[in-house]
Each structure stands twice: as C-alpha cells, then as structure tokens.
Structure 1
C-alpha cells in the first residue's frame, strides 16, 4: 500500500496449505469438534484442585498405546496458591507433567524427576523440559535445563549461573524417568563466572530415530543448534554447533517444519514482571534447520539490528507476557500453540508479591503469506469457539478472522511538523528544558536532539521531553528518527530516541529505537505509578528491527471507554511491522505527544518529522 494511505496491511490472504507435520490431514468423514474453551487452561490434580501455573510448557502426543493422549511438561514451579500461601519456602513441583485427551482438559499426573542429577548444585532449579520420542529405541527423551552446576562441571568455583542441559529417558510419556548424563555443558563466555544461558532445550520434531537436532540457549550468548545422537539411555552432541540468534535477545526455541521451511519460534522480553511483562513470541525461517533464520523483511536473527517477525504480542486484554511456546498440528491439519501468559489482574502467587504466576494458554496459529501468527493477528484469546481436533477423524470448528487494519484518517495539520525553518514551532513545549540550548536545533528539515543522561525520573535532573497537545479521541502519531549509535557492537546500553505519549513522569508510553548491549531494537514501553510491594513500574516489549532511519508509529484507539495504544515500526516507511498493544486509561486529561532522546549522553537523535492523523476506522 502507498505510504500515507494505510498503516499496515496486517494480513493478506490466509494460506490454505497444509503441511507435513505430526498427525496428518483429516479424513473426508471427519467430525467437527464442538467443544468450547476459555483461557487460561485449567489443569486439575487428582483431588480436583486447579493447577494455576505451568510455565515454559512443552506439548507432545503419545505414541503407540499412549497415542490417545497428549502430554504437557512444565518448568519447576509451585502449581497454585496452595503451594505459596503458607509462610516459609513455597513448594516447588519438579518438572510437572499433565495429560489430556482433548488438549483442553488436563490432569496433573506428577513430577517428572524425584530429585536433581548428581551434577546439579544444591541451589539449582530444573527448567523448561522438552520431550521427543525415538521410534528406534521406543523411548521418550526429556531434555531440561539445570540452572547451576557443581564446580567440577563448570570448572569455575563459586558460580551460581553456570547452567547446562541434561537428559532423562523413559518407556512411557510420564515416567519413571531414568536420569542420563549432561548433554550440553556450561558455555563459557569470558573469565570468571561469565557463562552463557545454556537453557531451554528443544529437539526438532516429535518423533525421531537415532539422531536429531537440538536447539538450546538464551539471552546470554544466544541460541545454538547442533546434531545429537541417541542411545537407549542417553543423548550426546555430534558435529559442530551453529549460532542461530544473537545474544541478549531471544530464548525458548521451538522449531517446526512446514512448506519447505524450518520455522524458529523464539521469545523475547521480560518474562516475569507481573502486569507489565513484555514477553512475546517472534519467528524466523530458513531452508536449513541450522539457519540462517530470517524474518519476513529479510533481517537475520543473528544481526545486531535483530530480526524477528511478531507471532504473539499483547493485545490489550487481560493477558500479558505470553511466550515460551510450543507449536504443533492437530488431526484436522490446524496448527496450535500452547504457551504461558500472565493475568494482569491476578499476576502473582498468594503471599508472594513479585513471584509471577504463569498459567498455560491454548490458541490457534494461522499462516499468512507463509508466516505464523496467533489467531490471525488477534493474539491471546479469553474465550474461543473452536477446540482442537485432538483425536483421529476430528476437525476443529476454528475459523480464522483477519484482524482489523488500522487506517489513516485525515491529517491533523495543527499537530504535524516537518521541522522546516530554524526554530521550534510555538506549539511545542518542554518538560524540563535542556540545560544547554545548544543540545538541540532545527535545521535542514530536521530536529537534532542530543541524547541525555538518565530517563524520565520526575526529578529536576531528569531527561527533557519535547511535547505538544495530543488530539482528542483516537489518533495516529508517527516520526522517523536516526539514532547515531554504531550499528553494531556494544556498549551504549539504553541510549534511545523516539516517540512518547506523555501524561507525567509516572504515566507515559514510549516507542523508541534503543541500543541494548550488542543489539539494536525498537521497544514500546509503559510506565505506571508505584503499585506497591512486588509491582513493577515499567515494562516494555519489542516490535520490528530498526534501521539507519527508523519509522515509529503509535495508534491510539478509544474503544468501549478504554484507550488502546498499538505500536508499529518500519525500516523503509512502506513495509510496517505491527507490534503489541498496551491498554492505558490513566494517562490523564493532559495527555500529550512528543519526542525523547535519552538513556546516555554522547549521541544524537535526528527527527525528520512528526505526522499526526485521525484514525480512519
């Protein structure tokens, strides 16, 4: 679409191609599944108590005599408020296991491991299990992360963050599990206790023979892919590893094969900051399981201006922080994802403010022009009408419905500025004017605004904010910004420039191009007043990758008496990436729009324009 007529075409025609996958296509006489379900899923224990948290879920269909059931495996955590309500240490269930016949109603069937492996330290946690079946050995192989290993394993005394990947095997999907040895040892990044995030294992496929491909890694050091070989009770690495994502960006790999491509699903953002968690799911694809994985616009997931096409982002309803997903196809050919999310109205375990509860969620995945998106771009559901086809000769009632496209309305000339001339238009005003007027200027059709130390602190030494009055009701605001941090390398942490929707220093939204370690990202952040013990003040999620000149847009939609703000980014001003949505009703009557350039001195944000429109639909 031409720039200036529509924001983004959020979807094109839905792909109808079914793919090679786990369970095949429906038969001609398949019966429609008529069940309904509501998120979050509500697994039950044998006593009928509800399981309220199942973080980092992984789902597998059983094989042989277990083929009627689906199995879900979770990170070690309390199951519910019953495990935290008492004083003292909460009760952790070690790698909880669930079972279901319909993928909706789940039963807790116990902890996978009775103890920790001998090479785990006393303080270690067991995280993020993944289970794959071997048709050669007729056994199930569970890989899992151990967060802290003993000194003789890492070779570094006294480290608490030297994680590794272990394996356990079983003849059944629910054990008993026989512990094997280490599969991936701690990965050293530097001297001392500098180790990579050797976590979040995923073996490609649901059923393999003697060999497979293992993905593991996370924020520290990136994600790697390497071949593995199986024996009856063990798994070992073979060949060399390939890095498939840059460090400080992604974790929680899950890879599926579809239509001649391998799709790498990964998660990014803060997983566990309660109602402001910005966790989300992104994807890249490759013709090889070892990459390179590129996003829809062709950006590598290993680049400093890091690629990744949004799959699941917050949509303004009660669910935030959706991520660490598992992806599979049902018997009717429909793809689904199970992931964890956070209820922003009930984010924490009882008696543990700050300890985030992450219940399991279920939603369909649609493929739009070859790219996955949850519910055709609608994101996490509260209630949905089409349950999965979890058994043979079934088909789902789910039917995709495209997400509405945000359309530009009439330009708001009084709020738009091309930065012609040599001075700011009188419509602009400063929150804390720059101490040195020479740190900003208007010339050559741009606003040059030096980055300032600090952020929006509310103190006199806080960063400056250039603002103007926001239009009433729904609107769209856009800028294009050059942030002259180096395109690669570190270390300009938190230096940023971009848009702000401003109520006060305690109430604002901020969409900026940010330098974060070795990466360059766009982040849509939300600041709220102090909510009490355990509650965060700030949260943010990423959108699309930046460029030399990065276009940033915020769409405000007033709907049902609520204000929803959606982020868009572009590398060329034509192809737009739609990000997530923050709900924010508390900005106040004095809401303003504006520009910021902050996070560290020594650089410049150059703004080419501010354009404002009404919202056309």
Structure 2
C-alpha cells in the first residue's frame, strides 16, 4: 500500500527512540543468549488446480496411418512419455502387419519391425514409422521380432525386443538405443539376454521372450523375461542396460503358466503382472492378466491369498479378463501413470466378431490383436481394471496427457455375482443318486455315493472337440439366471509332472459340443483352475471350436461357481473359484447360447488313476 504524508511524518518520533530502545533491550537480555529473528519469507504462490480433461476415448485406440487408414493390429504394446522438451507419448508394438492391406506386391503381409505410434493427448494416435530397419546381426535373417519394451535411463531411450530365432539357436532379447523414441535406433552387437536352457531341462532352449525392465528408486536395473516353456525369470541388468548377469537369474513364476511380465511399483510393493492362456485363438482366445507382489524385485511374488506364482498349484490374482462384451484375449499389458496420478493399462485384445485379419495367400487367418487402454484401479492393495468391470467398449474419460491436467475418470467398483435363494440341491447324503440326475455314457465302475460325498474316479476319456468319450453326470438347469456351486476335492499330487489334462469339475452344456466347463486341471508342471468353452461342431472355416482361460489359485479342495446371466440374445457365463469357500476369485466370462434345454453336469476325466469327490451341488437364484 502506498503511504500518504501523514503516515510518513508519524514515523519520525519513533525513529528517534530506536537507539534508546536498543539499549533497554540489551540491558534486559544480559546473561541470556542472543536470539536471531527468522527471516521473512514470501508465501509460496498457490498451486493451480489441475485442469479436468474434457475428451473421451473409445476402444480400440484410434491410430491413424498417413493416407487415411487405421492401425488395426498392435500386439504386445509398450508405452512411454518423451523426456525433456518432448512431451508426446509413444506406443510400440510387435512386428506385425498394421491392417488387412499392409502387404507387399505379392500380397504377403508385411512384418513391420516394431511400429511406432505417437500421440499428444493419449487419444488420437499416428503411425510414424518402424523402430528397426534391419534385424540384429546375430538374428536369423527371417526371424520374427516380438514384444518390445521401452525404458529411459542414462539420458538414452533403450528398446528391448524378442528375437525369436538366433543364428546360435533359440530365442534371445535384443536391445537398441536412441536419443528419441522416434529413433533412429542403434542395435547393440550382442543380446541383452542370450539364448539359454529352460530351468527344468539341460540342453534345451527356453522361450526367452517378452522383456520388461524395472528401474528401482535407487537406480538398480532388472530385466524380466520368459514365457510358458521355462517360465518367467529376472536378472540384474548392467549399468548401461546392454547386458544382463546370468548368475543373478531367479525364476519368479512356475513354467507353463505365465508370460509377458510387466512390473508396477505401488505403495511399497513390486507388482508382477503376467499374462496366461492362449494369446491368439480367435474368438475363443482366453488370454488374461494376473498379479503377484513382493517387497523385492527378485520375489517371491505372492497373490492376494499368499500363494506364490512359483508353486505348482499356481498363484495369481486376476486383474483383467473377458467380461462378456466384444473383447476377448485381453493381455500382454503395459502400465503407466498419467500426469494427474491415475494409473492406466494398455494391452491388446481380440474383437470376437472380427477376430482375424483377412486371409493370407496361403489361407491362414492372422489374429487381429487391437490396442486397448483402460483405467487401472487399486482395491485393497490389488490392481483391477475399471474397478472390476474389465475391458471397455463404450466411451471413457480420457487420461491426462500433460502436466497440470487431471482425468475425469472415477472408478465404479463391481461386486462378484452372489447366490440368492436356494432353488435346489443335492448334498449326496444317501447311498445312491436319485432324480433328477442322469448319465451320458455311464460307467458304474467310476462312481458311487456314500458318507456324504459323490465319488467320481477320473477316466482315461475326454470331452474335447471330436473326442467325446467321458461320462457326464447331469441334471436340468433352471431357466433364466442362476448360480450353480459345488465343493470338490481332487487327489492330484501337489508337485509332479505331468498328469496332463486330468481334471474334474462343473459343466453347463446342451450336448457334447456346446458347453462351458470349470475344472481343476493338471497341465505340465501346474495345477490350475480352467474355464473352458466349446462350440460346434460346425464353425466358420479357420475358427476354433474350443477355448480356455484360467482363474485364481487351486488346491486339493476347491469351491467352484458358474453364474449364468441372460443378456439379450446371449447368455453370459462367469466363473469363480475359492480355496476356502469364503474368498472368491473371478475367472472370466464366456458368452454362449445354450438355451432353455441347458443341463448342469459334473465331469472327472483326462486320465485314469485319481478320484474327485463332490460334497454337494447347489443351485441358487442369481442375486440381482
């Protein structure tokens, strides 16, 4: 405030008293330590509130190509924001054709060597070229290049990628460096992870696929990699990021369950997100994402129930899976946090109504894996997509792409399907099966009722496409919505290989070729909860009849649920499993049209020598 003459004159008498006041002050403070007044500081200007982002996006991500077409195939996406003055976002994909027309003069599909996509707002994307112009010198000339991973450190961008076939034999992880995500990229002369044996088997070549780099808060670097044959491992990465130390290698998942590792640091934990099941099975692709967490980059990684991802009865908390809309095969993800603090997951998925690119000249149907993005939320310390809603197919609030922005996204949390009123049950309290049970291909040698359980020995038989030899115990299903549940024990050994395809569990079916099936199954080293779908016998040319996805951890005794919800002309079948009857893991949702004549069934099959015991079968109304 500017002073007037009167206020200026009013200070003159006080100024004359200042020396005397100083002497009085010194006299009063004799014998006491002197005190220094704190400096006067100006208050910090208030931080402006983040600006809400007004836009929306709809899956699949909109990615334009110069000339007007779109990128409709972007498997295994990885994402990064530029550093320094470059505030754009970059998405890189596996070396695949971009769309139906991405072909050479002979009409063969082009294999783009890691397409680069760029965006300023995380909504509108553009294809700007390929990262690599050639393969590494140590790669076979026609090797596939898969699963890029991009990281920034030491003032350089580092691009890691899978070389499927090396001149030395086996697969390896390559690395290239650049000053920009847009390139040019310089390929290192040796692999970051060399071809090597699977942990199980000497003189083998493991699947050295799917790199992921972790940089900790203190600057330590690690590289995760691996796939079904050999599992997922982690190694220490060199300071320059160009090599890894094989003597530090630790296996962080059991073999034959997981691939495509992604690491997220959250609230003091390292979360390992890994994908499971077949990535590329057209409209019956069961790919999904699971999580375990650890306080150490080397693990052990355990799921929400404390089950390790390295156990044969394998752990894993579901993060992302099919939810009954158009998207199946949701997996191989990358996670980023936007400038407003919201986490997002980018991943590929298959539209079950358009699962393939146009046929190749040899008639093969390449899978069409499109790039998707959704919000990632945290529920009681565990990641879940859109509060449990899963992949989106409607407009969603856009992420924040720039500093001082905030997404308008707010999570909507979804409850599990739950049983309502009991409609019917069988507690197996007698000595024989009564009405309304019936058998398809009954074999009296493999079943019996007594002591409150149904005993059902596993058979050297199957229920898979053209092999329909297994016995089915069934009863009519209710019309409309319902939830069917059983408690079952299967005496598979907890650790051994392999008893492949031995399984037992629940079935909802109309005949041998049309069903959904939820079982505890042995597969190579693992014991898993598998949720399968078969349709047919007539399907479009080149399309599958059978697909499978996986659920939470298994145990000798498990509780299994299948919920049916009628939605328009389709029926949505959602599976759940539990190890204690109280804590449930949601598996995924298959759509099917089993109709009013559907049956509820039990199976025990895949190989002789084991026994499943069922405590009960209960059918409930499905709680709204």
Is 1:386 aligned to 2:397, yes or no? yes
Please give the alpha-carbon distance, in whole angstroms, between the structure 2 residues aligned to 1:276 and 1:284: 26
Q: CA deviation at 1:299?
A: 0.5
Q: What do the CA deviations read for 1:249-280 (whole angstroms, capped 9, x no partner)?
A: 00111101111001111000110000000000
Task: Give the conservation status (yes or no) of the 8 Å contact 2:468–2:512.
Answer: no
In the TM superposition, structure 1's runs of 4+ consecutive aligned residues that sit over 4 Å from their partners are 84-88, 190-193, 205-209, 457-461
Change (3 A) 1:401 1:45: same
Is 1:425 aligned to 2:434, yes or no? yes
Q: What do the CA deviations read for 1:158-210 (whole angstroms, capped 9, x no partner)?
A: xxxx111111111111111111021111121377873211110010149995x
1:227-266 matches, within 5 Å, as 227-231=236-240, 234-237=242-245, 240-266=248-274
Q: 2:207 aligns with which of 197, 202, 211?
A: 197
Where does structure 1 lack aligned partners over 5 or more consecutive residues? 1-25, 155-161
SS of 1:376 mapped into structure 2:
helix
- Say how many residue pairs are matched: 573
Please give the alpha-carbon distance, in whole angstroms, between the structure 1 residues aligned to 2:472 and 2:245: 52
Where does structure 2 lack aligned partners over 5 or more consecutive residues? 1-45
Q: 1:188 aligns with which of 178, 197, 202?
A: 197
Q: 1:149 aligns with which of 155, 163, 166?
A: 166
TM-score by length of 1: 0.90
Q: What do the CA deviations read for 1:533-562 (whole angstroms, capped 9, x no partner)?
A: 210011111111111211100011123343
Q: 1:38 aligns with which of 40, 46, 58?
A: 58
Which structure has the higher relative contact order (CA within 8 Å, separation 6+)? 1
Task: Give the conservation status (yes or no) of the 8 Å contact 2:55–2:398.
Answer: yes
**Counterpart for residue 101 of structure 2:** 82
SS of 1:230 mapped into structure 2:
coil
Change (3 A) 1:196 1:427: same
Q: What do the CA deviations read for 1:36-88 (whole angstroms, capped 9, x no partner)?
A: 1110012111222200010000001111122x111111110010010259865
Q: Which moved more, 1:511-520 or 1:84-93?
A: 84-93
Q: Quote the RMSD (CA, aligned, Å).
A: 1.9
SS of 2:239 mapped into structure 1:
strand
Task: Give the conservation status (yes or no) of the 8 Å contact 1:279–1:320.
Answer: yes
Q: 1:64 aligns with which of 84, 87, 91?
A: 84
Change (3 A) 1:424 1:339: same
1:454-533 matches, within 5 Å, as 454-456=461-463, 462-529=469-536, 530-533=538-541
Q: CA deviation at 1:588?
A: 3.3
Task: Give the conservation status (yes or no) of the 8 Å contact 2:479–2:596.
Answer: no
Q: CA deviation at 1:226?
A: 1.2
**Counterpart for residue 552 of structure 2:** 544
SS of 2:245 mapped into structure 1:
strand
Please give the alpha-carbon distance, in whole angstroms, between the structure 1 residues aligned to 2:385 and 2:467: 44
Is 1:296 aligned to 2:273, yes or no? no
Change (3 A) 1:368 1:356: same
**Counterpart for residue 15 of structure 2:** none
Change (3 A) 1:262 1:192: closer
TM-score by length of 2: 0.89
SS of 2:463 mapped into structure 1:
coil
1:204-223 matches, within 5 Å, as 204-205=214-215, 211-223=220-232
**Counterpart for residue 334 of structure 2:** 326
Q: Which has the greater radius of gyration?
A: 2
